[in-house]
Amino acid sequence: MTVAAKICGLTDAAAVAAAVENGAAYVGFVFYGPSPRNISPEKAAALTASVPNSVQKVGLFVDPSDDLIRQVLAALPLDLIQLHGSEPPERVRDIKKTFGLPVMKAIKIDSAASIADASPYEGVADMLLFDAKEPKTMKNALPGGNGLTFDWTLLADAKIKSRWMLAGGLNAENIAEAVRISGAHIVDTSSGVEIEPGRKDPAAIKTFLMATQAIETQKQVET
């Protein structure tokens, strides 16, 4: 099994370089003002100028207007639009049609029942991303990147027809177990490779990516 990895919430050149040089399949940039990882389209364009075409550039948006998406795309080409808000399937479909790009929709998980929230997006979104749902009691909670995990066994037997990505509190220490339990083939981390919110640690990025590659090697050896 090959495990691909996305490093999200990148804000500086050293972190982008660490992601690319150590084998990230996706690099993610946040275009959401309240997030400490928010970045301007112009800065994101500068950071992605040297990213090879083999690495997919992802823009994360939260209930965005068409104008915001248009502003970002005018500055840099994205390979994938990630929607991390409360966008209904109709909005996902509309964004795909308007901008001609694949869309990944985040689904917040806190129970077995919340897995069913993915169903209306299957056949609409090109990919799904399963993330931990922030508790109502959590202060200053963000739509994502809160460093929270969820019960990965909820995905183990779920009949998900779409391609999907696992997120939520993933780091080098727990990634092997998360993949083993959930069956994920693609994983996403942000807070798990940070010194503080919005400030990535290049060494932690390298360690995380090495850990995902070790899972791949182990699976290949076992087969």
**Structure confidence by residue, pLDDT tens digits, 66-90:** 999 999 999 999 999 999 999 999 9
The sign of the dihedral angle between the CA atoms of 203, 207, 209, 213 is positive
Q: Contact at 8 Å (CB) between 142 and 34?
A: yes
pLDDT of residue 179: 96
Six-digit token string for 28? 């993610």
Local confidence band at 137 (pLDDT 50, 70, 90 cut-offs): low
So where are the chain's domains?
Answer: 4-222
pLDDT at position 143 over 80: no
- Report, as residue numbers or ranges, the catalytic residues: 8, 131
Record the tokens describing residue 108, joined without a space. 């917040």
Q: What is the pLDDT of residues 45-60, one digit of tens each?
A: 999 999 999 999 999 9
| The residue to which tokens 């693609």 are assigned | 186
Smallest CA-to-CA distance from 188 within 76, 56, 64 is with: 56
User: 3-state SS of the chain: helix, strand, coil percent to 5?
Assistant: 40, 20, 40
User: Is the predicted pLDDT of residue 109 greater than 70, yes or no?
Assistant: yes
Q: What CATH class has 4-222?
A: alpha beta
